[in-house]
Each structure stands twice: as C-alpha cells, then as structure tokens.
Amino acid sequence: MSIARKSWNELDDQAVAISRALAMDAVQKVGNGHPGTAMALAPVAYTLFQRIMKHDPNQPNWLGRDRFVLSAGHSSLTLYIQLYLSGYGLELSDLQSFRTAGSLTPGHPEFGHTTGVEITTGPLGSGISSAIGMAMAARFEKGLLDPEGKSDLFDHDIWVIASDGDLQEGMSAEASSIAGTQELGNLKVIYDDNRISIEGDTHVSFTEDVSARYRAYGWDVIEVSTKSDGDVDRIALEEAMIKAQSQSKKPTLIRLKTVIAWPAPKARGTSKSHGSALGAEEIAATKRELGLDPEQSFIAPPEVISHAREVRSRGADLSKEWQIRFGEWQKNNPEKAALLSRLQKRELPAGWELSLPTFEAGKDIATRAASGKVINAIAKVLPEFWGGSADLAESNNTTIEEGGSFLPSTSAMKDANPYGRIIHFGIREHAMGAILNGIALHGLTRPFGGTFLVFSDYMRGSVRLAALMDIPSVFVWTHDSIGLGEDGPTHQPIEHVAALRLIPNFTVIRPADANEVAIAWREVIKRGKPAGFALSRQNLPVVDRQSCGSVEGVAKGAYTICETDGTPDVILIATGSEVSIAIAARELLAKEAIAARVVSAPSLEWFALEGDSYRESILPKAVKARVSIEAGVGIGWREYVGDSGEIISLDHFGASASAGELFKEYGFTAENIVAAAKRSIANSK
C-alpha cells in the first residue's frame, strides 16, 4: 500500500516551527519537563506522522496501521504535539495542561490513557526493546492469517524514535541482537544522536561506534547528518525513511545527528535544555529565530492546524482502500477471518479448557513439568499461544511440541520457521520481558516466556511495565525455592516471590501440585492479565482430591485443601511445595487430637479479589491460631496469620545441598510445623 506524498510547503515549515514553540511553552507553563529533544525532533516526528507512517487518526486501532514507539519517553511532547496536529483527539488545552493532574498529557506516554499512544515508555531501553516484540508479533500474526504471503493486508512497519540513553541501556542491546538474528525487516528505528544527556556530553560514558555495533547485530544502518546550521536535514531524513521502508530483509537504524533544543540561541546543544524549562527570555529569542511572535504563547494558527489535519483524510483513504481489500480477503478466507474476528474480540473458543490435562493422584510430578504439559495442551486449541525461554526451555518446560523455531526463513537452524511458535530469546531475560510486552501490546496473540525465578530480578523492570499497562504478558519462572538444591544460593530464590507480590496489578501464582498448575493456567488465559508462575524443580505429590478440597478453589486464590470436622484449632496456610508438608503436619496434629485446616494459597492476589464472606470462610477471624509456611522471606505473611500466628520462612540465603537436606535444615518439615502450630495455639488463648 503506497502513500502519496504532497510537496512540502510553507505550511509544513510553519507546523514544524509551532511544534517547537509548543514544546517550549508547555514545559515553561508547568515549570518542568524535557523541551530540548522535542524541539530538535519536531521535523522528524512531523515527517513521520504526515508523510511516512500508514495510520488513520479517525481509527486509532486500525489493524493495518504502522505502529509508533517513542522509546525516548521523556520527550513525550514529541508525540503529544503530533497527536494534536494529526487530530487524534488531543487539543491545545491538553498541551497547556501538560504534566498536571488528570491531564491526557502526563510526563511520559501511558498506554490506555491517551489515544494514539501505543505503549507506556519512559524507562530507557524499554520502548525499543518492546518495539522488537511488536515486530516479531507482526510476523507471527502474518503466519496465522496469511502464511502463503498472498496479500500485504497484514504487513506494516514498527517505527521507533530512540535516544542515546535507550541505546546505552543493556536491555536494548539484548533486544537489538535478537532483532538482527530475526531479520525483522519491518522494524525501523530512528536514533536521535544528539550527544547530550543530563550529565552533559555522552562521551563521558558512551564512545563506541554505534553504527558499527548495529551493523554487527545484522541491521541496515543509514546515517543522516545535520545541516550546516545545526537543524535536522529533513530532506535527507525523509529519503532515509523511504529507503528504510524498502528494506525488508533486516531491521534499519537511521542514525540521525541532531542538536538538542535547536534553534534556541543559548540553550541549543546544552544539557540544561534536556530536562529544564528554557526560561521566558530564551523562549522569546527562540521564537524570533522561528519567525514567530515572541509575545504569544501556545501559538496554533488555524490554517496550520487545518493543513496538518489533512492527514486525517489521507488516513481515511488508506484505511478505506485497505478495508475494501480486507473484505475480499474475508470472503476468500472464511476460517482465517473467523480466527481474526475471535482474536480481535479477545475471545476464547468454546470449550477450550476441556483440553487441559488432569493428573493422577499419588503420582509425583514437578510443577514445572506439569506446566509444560499444560502449555502444550493449550497450544493445541489456541493457535495464538506462543512463547519460549531465555535459553532454559528444557528446564522451564516451555517448548511447544512440533511448534517450530521462530526464526527467519534464511536461518540454517533446525526447525526454523518464520511463523514458528517457539521463541529462542537467548540468555537475555530483560529483553525477553520487554519483547513479551511488545507482543502482548500488538494485540492479537498471547505470549509467555520462561527463566529461573531467581533471574526475575534481571527482568523486573519489564514485569513492572506489564503490570502498569495491564497487558497479558505471562512469565514462567521455575526452580522456585531452595528445592532446586545443589546449584546453591546464587540460584535459589529467597526474596523473589515476596518482591514480585509487591508489584501492583501483578499476579503471582505458586501452585501446590500439577492439578493446581492446570487450573491456574486456565485462569491466567481466561483473565488476560499480567501474571507470573513460580514453579518447582523438584517433584511434588499430586494431591488426592477425593479426600481433599476441589482444585477449583485455585480460581479463588486460596482455598481449603484439607478440612477438619467442626471449627479448626489451627489453620496451616502454605504455597507451592510446602503445601504437601503442611498436609503431612495436619496428619501428625490429628494424632494428638489437634484439628488443623490446611489452606493452599497459590495466589494471594486472586484471594484479595474475593469478597469478605469468602475470605472469612477460609480464614475465619475466630481462629487466631495460624501458621504460614513458605520457603522464602516471611514479609507479608503477618497480614494472614495475625499477632498470634507463626511464620515459617527463610530469611537468609540457602546453600549448595540436596533439596531434602535443605528443607530439613531450614525447618520446612512436618515436625517443625507441628511445633509452630502448638505455639500459635498457646499464643492465641
């Protein structure tokens, strides 16, 4: 689908000039923000939105659109001003309320808050890394809908503006390396090389040849210098953008030299202009340089706005022409059209959950192994379900059988398939997290990614962003405790489950047995929310549900897995591998005529969503004797056990020894739980 480009004219020049002025004025009015980059990038963003990108402001979620990612999220005005000029719904008043409470123009772009914002950005490196996930998702979706390549309906580009800071962050290096391996020809990154950061010249810390680095990754690199006066060479830039559009074999990096805060007489090229208002005097002088009235603020001539909003007509023509061809595709591909309709509605096929396995009581199976079986069962009924691991697929059990390796057709690797369902992230946890977020944001598919729980630290920033954006990224973390054994304290997570529970809007699930895993996966898929599994390396007994509570209780986050007659004397609350130990302790207590209820609490977040009556039925206030058992730090459990309760936890690092030895050494035994239960009963009287 080609875009007809009109000749650049004086109104375009004026639009760029007022874009620069609006950036200055918005920051000046609120008294804080980042004007310099938005000023320098005004012609870049304007050219993208007006002349290059395929988008329709009338239909912000049009399936055929290009995506835009402002990885340099601190320069949010770069995006907001173009959304205003293009007619996405932002108005001048929104720019005037920049960075103020309740505005549509917060300090950094927020997904779901402002129409036209495709992703939350701000943490440097995250935007470009998630954009790579979007580019991967676009290819995978192409495989679902048009595997034979008969149409360009589902072909589009992912455009990114990235800063020096983005490319300094390690996660962007991880992700950019993957992008090169994947030959993502639909990824176009404009690198704003202004050599300025908060501490001044970036050469105090950043001196490598970025172009050579990206060529080594397998990217096409185009370099665009500034004009002699320091302004962006817009003509050369547009030529580079058009060239990038024609590159389909590898990702493109346009290395664009800019002068921050151009054309401010004193502030240009300075670190001060990066994150501070320029001041009234400098703004007035800059407006004179731009040919604008220095006495006016928030200048928006009607003829300029009207001219810029002609992009709405162009977008409408593009989407209309696309829709006609899409209608023909629907007629010719009814099954794929039905699939697409379901994916767009975020619906699941009727009865899909019937495919989930059940596991025989009395058997022993690690929850990571059970998860692997459930993943493959889901994959058989949900073609949109795909994912992989940070080089730990055999340990994480994240391989989709016969799914094919997601790799370009040129790859010589075994099972390479450009539309494969198995993603090989390599040993790049943070990039994996960001890529999963990009895939989820792209909208049609359901991604997952695995590593060891202890390495969730490496990807915490991406997990937090998934929670902040409320997107269905799923993280599969295995080797969840000292139960992994001999690999020792470097690999034994202690504080990780508690730390992950602290992230708002994020669900942590630590199942007690294989059947809990199956129900938990069912709920994760149904709910479509960000979630992470903490799964065991070691085998765990499959609980006999004939004598214990229904596994359906998993959906409520915590439930009575083993009940007693009448009011219990003590409640034992456990998660994961410690549930079976609590059940054993219950049996020992029964021999001493002490009635113990065992509560399995795979997800405290889901439990918190339940009503007061349900929570009271599981943890009645009248029963003050309680013991929590979890092989990790005890932070957070006092809320559940109360003042009279006992917390069996691990508040120090582990050691290199067998799981059995470590559980015994650190008190995760039925006998120790019995002793704690007796103490709690005594304390509660």
Tell which phi-psi region holds residue 426, choosing left (phi > 0), alpha (psi between -120 and 50) or beta.
left
329 assigned to some structural domain:
no
Q: Which two tokens stand for residue 232?
A: 């962006």
Q: What residues are paired with 600 via a beta bridge?
A: 559, 574
**Per DSSP, which regions of 351-436 are E strands?**
364-366, 385-389, 405-406, 416-417, 422-424
Q: 84-100 in b/e burial notation, b at 16+ Cβ within 10 A?
A: bbbbbebeeebbbbbbe
Output phi, psi for 430, to 5 deg: -65, -45
516: CATH: 3.40.50.970
Does the residue 340 lie in any domain? Answer: no
> pLDDT grade, residue 2 (50/70/90)?
low
Instruction: Check whether residue 81 and residue 223 sit in a common domain.
Output: yes
What confidence tier does 281 reach under pLDDT thresholds 50, 70, 90? very high
* pLDDT the model gives residue 1: 62
Residue 605 annotated to the active site: no
Same domain, 486 and 570: no
Are 164 and 198 contained in the same domain? yes
Given a contact cutoff of 8 angstroms between Cβ atoms, the answer to whether 358 and 554 are in contact is no
Q: Strands 539-541 and 364-366: what pairing? A: antiparallel
Residues 562 and 521 in one domain: no
Residue 258 corresponds to which amino acid? T
pLDDT the model gives residue 6: 87
Same domain, 526 and 438: yes
Q: Are residues 458 and 408 in the same domain?
A: yes
Above 70 in pLDDT, residue 316? Answer: yes
Counting the structural domains of the chain, the total is: 3
Neighbouring-strand partners of residue 598: 562, 572
217 with 262, same domain: the answer is yes
**Distance of alpha carbon 36 from alpha carbon 198, whole angstroms:** 11
Final residue of a structural domain among 509, 541, 573: 541
Q: Is residue 2 part of a domain?
A: no
25 domain residue, yes or no? yes
Catalytic residue among 282, 384, 429, 630: 429
| Whether residue 4 has pLDDT greater than 80 | no
pLDDT tens string 113-150: 999 999 999 999 999 999 999 999 999 999 999 999 99
Q: Which residues contact 424 (CB under 8 A, 6 or more apart)?
A: 388, 389, 391, 393, 405, 406, 407
Domain identity same for 132 and 276:
yes
Q: What percentage of the chain carries pLDDT values higher than 70?
A: 100
- Together in a domain, 197 and 279: yes
389-418 pLDDT, tens digit each: 999 999 999 999 999 999 999 999 999 999
In this model, does residue 655 exceed pLDDT 70? yes
Give the pLDDT confidence of 215-237 residue by residue, as tens digits. Answer: 999 999 999 999 999 999 999 99
The predicted pLDDT at position 657 comes to 98
Contacts of the segment 346-354: beta carbons below 8 A, 24+ positions apart: 346/528, 348/382, 348/525, 348/526, 349/381, 349/382, 352/378, 352/381, 352/382, 352/525, 353/522, 353/526
Q: Has residue 465 been placed in a domain?
A: yes
Please report the pLDDT score of residue 464 as a whole number. Answer: 98
148 within domain boundaries? yes
What pLDDT is attached to residue 3? 74
pLDDT above 90 coverage of the chain, percent: 98
Residue 377 has pLDDT above 70, yes or no: yes
> 496 is written with which tokens?
């990780």
Helix-helix angle 429-442:126-145, to 10 degrees:
50
The per-residue pLDDT for range 611-650, each reduced to its tens digit, is 999 999 999 999 999 999 999 999 999 999 999 999 999 9
Query: pLDDT tens digits, residue range 31-70?
Result: 999 999 999 999 999 999 999 999 999 999 999 999 999 9
Q: Tell me how far CA of residue 59 lies from CA of 87, 400, 427, 511, 634, in angstroms.
A: 11, 36, 39, 42, 49
The last residue of one of the domains, among 267, 289, 316, is: 316
Residue 395 is part of which domain span?
Answer: 352-541
Residue 334: inside a domain, yes or no?
A: no
Residues 358 and 476 reside in one and the same domain: yes
Q: Are residues 537 and 563 in the same domain?
A: no
Residue 336 falls inside a structural domain: no
Q: How far is residue 629's CA from residue 577's CA, in Å, rounded to a whole number? A: 10
The chain-wide mean pLDDT, for the chain, equals: 97
Which one of 541, 575, 600 terminates a domain? Answer: 541
What pLDDT does residue 409 have? 96
CATH label of the domain that carries residue 633: 3.40.50.920
The answer on 476 and 416 residing in a single domain is: yes
